[in-house]
Homo-oligomer: A and B are copies of this chain.
């Protein structure tokens, strides 16, 4: 099976699981509709796939981690919905369709995002997971979700993203802060959740974390490059947004070519952290290399 087929298969797995998970919420009518619309059909499902792949590399199975993979996709979707709102980035297009607030209104989009964040915590704290994982591991994972999505993670990144847009000049440190918090924290959460639930040691967890931060930054740089060079038709979302909103990106600082070079370097540096484990995490390196093809 080549990588594209692998990714497609895992995407299917995630999509089915998410569909089953939101099914019981149907009673809540318009909110359920807004939540379903935002989640399905989804995007690349990168974060959940990274979680499945990491866990599979450790345990040679993946089923028991699927709910956690869905939860991270819910967190990611929540952040997209809120980010797209007119009061933030004011984006009209996402995953090739009108954004959630364009269809359901800003109030319902806000609440659909809110609901998804709570739902993620509801899912990962379910006692049914105790058949597979220890209470201690579950608690650790929940805490990681809290930190990674909060002020010192996702939200902190979004805030600096907005703040930096109003600054007179931008520097590498600020951009790195934004990309690490805004994007790498969730990618890191995906790998750390798999590592913790898979029971790897401290050193291995640190290596997975180190890889995920470098890869996460690279992934955001790729996103920024595509915002500058691609089109809504190809990308399925508004482009040219960063320039319009004066966002602090490496594209703005070093140009498209400079940013491409950096994306490559971050991926290579990240893969380096996995070398002590030989081929164990080969799939992660392959996925990281694959994402670079989008800017080739």
Residues of A within 8 A of B (CB): 25, 28-32, 35, 82, 85-88, 105-108, 110-111, 113-115, 117-123, 125-127, 135-136, 138-140, 142-143, 145-147, 149-156, 158-159, 162-163
Task: Classify the interface of chain A: helix, strand, loop or mixed.
Answer: helix
B121 in contact with A146 (CB, 8 Å): yes
The complex places the Cα of A145 from the Cα of B138 at a distance, in Å, of: 15
The complex places the Cα of A136 from the Cα of B82 at a distance, in Å, of: 33
B143 in contact with A111 (CB, 8 Å): no
A114 in contact with B117 (CB, 8 Å): yes
Give this chain's copy count: 2
CB distance from A20 to the nearest CB of B (A): 16
CB distance from A291 to the nearest CB of B (A): 27
With A139-B138, A139-B139 known as contacts, the answer to whether A87 contacts B110 (CB < 8 A) is yes
Chain B residue at smallest Cβ distance from A117: B117
Residues of B within 8 A of A150 (CB): 115, 118-119, 122
With A114-B82, A155-B115, A159-B111 known as contacts, the answer to whether A139 contacts B135 (CB < 8 A) is yes
A162 in contact with B107 (CB, 8 Å): yes
A151 in contact with B30 (CB, 8 Å): no
Chain B residue at smallest Cβ distance from A87: B106
The complex places the Cα of A162 from the Cα of B111 at a distance, in Å, of: 11
Chain B residue at smallest Cβ distance from A101: B87
With A115-B150, A119-B151, A142-B121 known as contacts, the answer to whether A107 contacts B126 (CB < 8 A) is no
Residues of B within 8 A of A159 (CB): 28-31, 108, 111
Residues of B within 8 A of A119 (CB): 146, 150-151
CB distance from A204 to the nearest CB of B (A): 20
Residues of B within 8 A of A105 (CB): 87
